[in-house]
Amino acid sequence: MAARPHDPAARSRLIGTLTALVVLWPLFQAAEVRPGALFDPANLKVIGNFLGGFLPPETGREFLGYLGTATLETLAIATAGMALAFCLAVPLGYLASGAARERPTLNPLTRGLLTILRGIPELVWALVFVRVFGLGPAAGVLALGLTYGGMLAKVYAEILESVDPAPAQALRRSGAGRPLAILYGLLPQASKELASYTVYRWECAIRASVVMGFVGAGGLGQLMDQAMKMLNGGEAASILLTFMMLVLAADALSGLLRKGLDTPPAPRATPFGWRSALLALALPLAILASFRGLNIDFTALFSTDAARSIGEFLGGFFPPDLSAEWLRKVGKGLWETLAISIVGTLLAAVAGLLLALPRPHAPFGVLLNALRSVPELVWATITALAVGLGPFAGALALALHTTGVLGRLYAEALDNTPPTPARALKLAGAPAGLPFLYGTLPAALPQLIAYTLYRWEMNIRMAAILGFVGAGGLGQLLYFELSLFHYAQASTVIAAMLLLSIAVDQASAWLRRRLG
């Protein structure tokens, strides 16, 4: 009898699996994972009645008028917020970048400011601005401007530092100043990547503008929050369908714009084609229309009364509450938030990979699009009904939304993997499943891990705010303390969110370097 082949990696896989179980078990405990709650008859009855109320969707003329207005307001908030973010990102990215400098510098002050801006979730900024300026789109625009300004500036600086520095250095040696060296030496090389990332962030801003509506920042989110609180399932269904169509349309438009940026223009007699001219005309018009449609009086934001109001409001946050009892509560919330993010991301990675495997992808692609089109806060509202309030609801909400995101990315990564190793194993008579396991997966694994870790960085920010709808963690603490006007305690929670976000960013970057 022939000896069975020995797998040389079997021992390392076993050790890795046991280590993962030891590490993950406390996190699953902290996330209060209870799969049986999904099949509890009482919970099934509640969720069934809730979902049954979604049918039929509301189609009344008056409501559709409100829905159309809210949809336009959501687009305007995203566009105006991105315009404000861009205005912040350009000077901050210039200061943070070491590109075209005679002496490299880390710019710790500017980079620290960027860390704060992007480390605090936009929903928290929106909640703060709503407390200062009242309900309405102004809070959403300002929140997007700050958070996305920090994100854009960081990425802009990294892109400028990654291109060939030789042209900029030559300009510097010939006596040109740093701004001109960047403008003529670096921007021509980086322009497509900078524009592509900006367009992608606009797509993300549309999703974020809906989420911020849950704290009164206008748009579809505010309409959705009102419908959910009134238990009006028909209206909620119509809003949700509209949002899904809006996100899919934004995805398609964003993809077309990014594809157009990556496609070299055909030779022309004029340096700019009609597409470029149309875009150059449409962009400022869209931004102007967004600000005019929202009717935000920005001069009032810088008035003496506004400054006094902001000063009094922010003054209440200092000094933060550092009492031992409160720090224990914040520590528990921080641990819950970390557990929610990790458990939700892991569940999504498994489900996303399973949905990415079948070919053709068409029916599964529709499911993945539907999953990622529904905001995490809406999923959290539904999962809280299915399993009860607490961190398990948050983990499930993250898992459902992230499955749609990772499933799409995983499918693209697997499709781009060279098929030769898997085909060779099939021709050699390998049993079903082994060609994928040993031929396709090893080549795609670095990309899959990178996507998962990047998504985990985003999920930690979202996990920190899912508590706004009762899904546990730091968000639940923050929502309660702000509702009770306990600003010193809220300040400690916001600081914990920021520190957790920074720690996860650093851990994710370290893991990508080790596993890449």
DSSP string, 357-385: SSSS-HHHHHHHHHHHHS-HHHHHHHHHH
Contact (Cβ atoms closer than 8 angstroms) between residue 418 and residue 447: no
pLDDT digits (tens, 9 = 90+) for 369-423: 888 888 888 888 888 888 888 899 999 999 999 998 898 888 878 877 777 877 8
**pLDDT at 453 exceeding the cut of 60:** yes
pLDDT of residue 392: 92
pLDDT of residue 278: 62
pLDDT of residue 48: 80
Nearest to 70 by CA among 287, 246, 201, 292: 246
Instruction: Name the range with the highest mean pLDDT among 63-72, 123-132, 155-164, 311-320.
Output: 63-72
For the chain, give percent helix, strand, coil, nearest 5. Answer: 80, 0, 20
**Rg, C-alpha atoms of the chain:** 25
CA distance 453 to 448: 9
Q: Which fold has domain 24-42+44-50+320-515?
A: MetI-like fold (1.10.3720)
**pLDDT at 211 exceeding the cut of 60:** yes
**pLDDT at 95 exceeding the cut of 90:** no
285 burial level (CB within 10 Å; 0-12, 13-18, 19+): exposed
pLDDT of residue 336: 92
**pLDDT at 337 exceeding the cut of 80:** yes
3 state DSSP class of 234: helix
Band (pLDDT 50/70/90 cuts) for residue 295 is confident
* φ, ψ dihedrals at 392, nearest 5°: -65, -40
pLDDT digits (tens, 9 = 90+) for 222-266: 888 888 778 788 888 898 888 888 877 877 777 676 666 555 555
pLDDT of residue 454: 84
Average pLDDT, the chain: 81
**pLDDT at 267 exceeding the cut of 60:** no
CA distance 479 to 377: 14
Q: What percent of the chain has pLDDT over 90?
A: 14
Contact (Cβ atoms closer than 8 angstroms) between residue 490 and residue 333: no
pLDDT of residue 88: 92
**pLDDT at 346 exceeding the cut of 90:** yes
| Token pair listed for 365 | 């692609």
Q: What percent of the chain has pLDDT over 70?
A: 88
Domain 56-264+272-315 indexed as CATH 1.10.645.10: no
Instruction: Please give the C-alpha separations between residue 181 and each of 159, 173, 190, in angstroms, as whole numbers.
Output: 15, 10, 13
pLDDT of residue 9: 58
CA distance 56 to 370: 18
Q: How much is the average pLDDT of 125-146?
A: 84
Q: How much is the average pLDDT of 349-374?
A: 78
Q: How much is the average pLDDT of 179-185?
A: 84
Instruction: Please give the C-alpha separations between residue 412 and each of 79, 128, 192, 361, 407, in angstroms, as whole numbers.
Output: 28, 39, 22, 10, 9
CA distance 36 to 407: 25
What residues have CB less than 8 Å from 250, skipping those under 6 apart? Answer: 202, 203, 206
pLDDT of residue 359: 56
Nearest to 475 by CA among 501, 497, 457: 497
**pLDDT at 472 exceeding the cut of 60:** yes
pLDDT of residue 105: 59
**pLDDT at 360 exceeding the cut of 50:** no
DSSP letter (8 states) at residue 295: T
Band (pLDDT 50/70/90 cuts) for residue 510 is confident
Residues carrying CATH 1.10.3720.10, the chain: 24-42+44-50+320-515, 56-264+272-315
Tell me how many helices (H) and strands (E) the chain has: 23, 0
Q: Model's pTM, two decimal places? A: 0.80
Torsion of Cα atoms, 202 then 206 then 212 then 213, to 10°: 150
pLDDT of residue 50: 75
